[in-house]
């Protein structure tokens, strides 16, 4: 396991470019991705690779806010005005729509129905994760971890309803992250 300060230290664009099967993004809002040329180019490169299978994105739906969403957005973007958050939600949705239109076979968007508890990025068998916190600095500058695991196997466990009894402690810890993503799009995740 690798732990870094700030998501930028993980160099997600490099990971995206090297993706061979799948990318799963569970970050709720994708305004920062939309504004990052490096992220956009890397995702486009992955999606245009013929061996790459799919990009699953778990996102907050901007026009269907629920009771938890307003508080969650305050945690996600501390000190940011509501109008700025609404603009970022629109940017995020435009970014997602653009990806889905350009790559309809490879891009699946899954909308959150409940509050997420941590950002997760999965690229093939690499799982990156941070944490949301009631802090005056946002999640991207917090601690982030990276771990390798057999994500395909962990997605199968999620499809089957849980981890086997003989799973190791490391497998269970990785499964916890993967199953958080799989609950939003089980049917599409198993194909990659």
Cα distance between residue 132 and residue 116, in whole Å: 9
Check residue 151 and give its pLDDT: 97
Compute the distance between CA of residue 146 and CA of residue 10 in angstroms, rounded to an integer: 8
pLDDT recorded at residue 71:
75
Q: Is the pLDDT of residue 119 over 90?
A: yes
Mean pLDDT of the chain: 90
> Who's near 82: CB < 8 A, 6+ residues apart?
none
pLDDT tens digit sequence for 53-95: 999 999 988 765 667 777 787 777 777 666 777 788 888 999 9
* pLDDT over 80 at 10, yes or no: yes
Q: Specify the fold of 2-189.
A: Endonuclease; Chain A (3.30.870)
Q: Are 111 and 61 in contact (CB under 8 A)?
A: yes
User: Between the CA atoms of 168, 129, 159 and 104, what dihedral angle is there, to the nearest 10 degrees?
Assistant: -150
Query: For tokens 């500058």, what's the residue?
Result: 141
pLDDT value of position 65? 61
| pTM, to two decimals | 0.92
> Does the pLDDT at position 190 exceed 60?
no
pLDDT at 100: 96
Q: Please check the confidence at residue 170 and state whether its pLDDT lies above 60.
A: yes
Per-residue pLDDT averaged across 178-182, rounded? Answer: 94
Question: What was the pLDDT predicted at 21?
Answer: 96
Question: With 70 as the cut, is the pLDDT of residue 186 above it?
Answer: no
Domain coordinates of the chain in residue numbers?
A: 2-189
- Pick 40 or 112 by higher pLDDT: 40
Taking CB atoms within 8 Å and a gap of at least 24, the contacts of 31-40 are 31/88, 31/89, 31/91, 31/92, 31/95, 32/140, 33/92, 33/95, 34/91, 34/92, 34/94, 34/95, 35/91, 38/13, 39/12, 39/13, 40/95
Report the pLDDT value the prediction gives residue 118, as an integer from 0 to 100: 93
């Amino acid at each position: 396991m690798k732990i870094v300060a700030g998501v930028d230290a993980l160099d997600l664009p490099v990971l995206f470019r090297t993706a061979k099967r799948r990318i799963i993004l569970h970050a709720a809002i994708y305004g920062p991705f939309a504004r990052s040329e490096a992220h956009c180019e890397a995702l486009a490169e992955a999606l245009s690779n013929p061996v790459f299978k799919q990009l699953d994105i778990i996102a907050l739906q901007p026009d269907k806010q629920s009771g938890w969403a307003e508080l969650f957005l305050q945690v996600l973007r501390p000190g940011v005005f509501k109008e700025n958050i609404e603009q970022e939600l629109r940017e995020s949705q435009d970014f997602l729509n653009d990806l889905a239109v350009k790559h309809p076979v490879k891009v699946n968007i899954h909308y959150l129905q409940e509050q997420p508890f941590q950002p997760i990025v999965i690229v093939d068998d690499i799982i990156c994760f941070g944490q949301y916190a009631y802090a005056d600095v946002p999640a991207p500058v917090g601690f982030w971890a990276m771990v390798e695991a057999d994500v395909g196997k962990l997605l199968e466990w999620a499809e089957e309803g849980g981890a086997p009894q003989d799973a190791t402690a490391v497998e269970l810890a990785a499964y916890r992250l993967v199953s958080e993503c799989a609950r939003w799009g089980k049917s599409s995740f198993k194909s990659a």
